[in-house]
Amino acid sequence: MGVSTFMKKLLQKLNKPSAKYSILALVLIGAVITVAGVVVMNKSLDYFSQTEFCVSCHTMQQNYEEYKQSIHYSNAKGIRAECVDCHQPKDFVGKIWRKMGAYKDVYHHFVTGKIDTPEKFEEHRLELAQKVWDRMADENYKTCTTCHSYEAMDHDKQSVQAMKEMIPAAKENMACIECHKGIAHELPNMAGGFRKTFETLTASATAPAGAKKLFSIEEKSLFATADANGKVEGQLLPASEVEVVGEEGDMLKVRVQGWIETNGKGRVMTEYMGKRVFKATVRGDVKATETVISEEVDPATNIAWKQVAVNAYITKDHLVESIDPIWDYASEMYASSCNSCHAAPAPGHFTANGWISSLKAMSAYYRLSKTEERTLLKYLQNHGSDTGGAGAH
């Protein structure tokens, strides 16, 4: 059969009428409907992706006002990033997926009223921000890299401080959001997350019967007798290990082991020889129970140290059997407090002693209680470059 004969037969078949229309007519109608559908969908996506549409809900007004104060809205180069540039991927699949996910926003706007007042918005700001950050991470930050590229940066045209930060960031291919979480909107109160974690940890932190080893989640008073109303003879610091040697009523008799300087006053006990990772302070009758386990000289400083143990009584609250939940909480605190303005160094970046001055230098930029700060420091020190980097005691 020749090509011309085949084409004639095909056209005859297509022109053969169905119940009412020819197959060719149906194909043409289907093609027109498909094209019209694509055009309508494209125009609809364009309309629903406009900033004006995004902020038409009153719950978005606070976000919009914050955005208008940002460099993404107004800058020297006159380049403006609209809402969708940060919140909606450019590829078709990513765009559709994000639009489908927006049903939650519509639901909470019209049904639950979850953020329909400034007070409610602030209450949920951290939760909402975290969802956006997580989504950006899942998408490999492609909304950021649509506009920003390390390869396109001319570091010589950046400020000295920007160059100092961007060159190592480029080498590590860091995500923009690791340092720029507050670039378009106000940062949430980052403490909300880790403080809720601590509340949960506290609710279950009671020494279980028969436990042999426990860790403190905050400061605990040390007593020489099984009397919680008696004289306090020392303090056990957060994230410190004790060995349970007995139980009397509502009190635990514990053995606290650590290091003290041989020629010092012997009141401050540390986790390691020669490292200022504080574990406890002891005095009076608790200090009187001290026994020496070993004696060594720190080769780095030639200072003599004694490894000692003391016996004391503590209450059963604020104690857990594993250090892991304390480190998880402290890690969350570190990420919230020290990663909100810049990419914080890994805990293994500094030595245990080096973390003391490093954290102190940043104290003006975070708002932590004394106990929180001590827990954070203990976490960083126990994960430092000279303590094994694994949180071991």
Which residues does 262 contact at the CB level (< 8 Å), separation at least 6?
Answer: 295, 303, 304, 305, 306
Per the CB < 8 A criterion, the answer to whether 305 and 273 are in contact is: yes
- The annotation status of 124 as a binding-site residue, yes or no, is no
- The annotation status of 341 as a binding-site residue, yes or no, is yes
Strand positions, DSSP E, the chain: 213-216, 220-223, 232-236, 241-248, 251-261, 268-272, 275-282, 291-298, 303-315, 319-320
Q: What residues are paired with 281 via a beta bridge?
A: 235, 268
- The annotation status of 179 as a binding-site residue, yes or no, is yes
At 155, list the tokens: 């570091």
- The annotation status of 109 as a binding-site residue, yes or no, is no
- The annotation status of 318 as a binding-site residue, yes or no, is no
- The annotation status of 349 as a binding-site residue, yes or no, is no
**Any idea how long the chain is?**
393
- The annotation status of 72 as a binding-site residue, yes or no, is no
Q: How far is CA 251 from the centre of its chain?
A: 36
Q: Could you give the CA distance from residue 195 to residue 188 in angstroms, rounded to a whole number? A: 14
Per the CB < 8 A criterion, the answer to whether 376 and 359 are in contact is: yes
- The annotation status of 338 as a binding-site residue, yes or no, is yes
- The annotation status of 393 as a binding-site residue, yes or no, is no
| Closest alpha carbon to 387 in 360, 352, 357 | 352
Which residues does 128 contact at the CB level (< 8 Å), separation at least 6?
Answer: 115, 188
DSSP alpha helix (H) spans, 92-152:
92-101, 103-107, 118-138, 142-145
Q: How far is CA 115 from the centre of its chain?
A: 23
Q: Is the dihedral of CA 385, 390, 391, 393 positive or negative?
A: negative
- The annotation status of 87 as a binding-site residue, yes or no, is yes
Concatenating the DSSP letter of every residue in 247-266 gives EETTEEEEEEEEEEETTS-S
- The annotation status of 108 as a binding-site residue, yes or no, is no
Return phi, psi of residue 203, to 5°: -60, -25
- The annotation status of 155 as a binding-site residue, yes or no, is no
- Dihedral, CA atoms, 227, 230, 232, 236, nearest 10 degrees? 20
Q: Which residues make up each annotated binding site for heme?
A: 54, 57-58, 83, 86-87, 144, 147-148, 176, 179-180, 338, 341-342
Q: Which residues make up each annotated binding site?
A: 54, 57-58, 83, 86-87, 144, 147-148, 176, 179-180, 338, 341-342
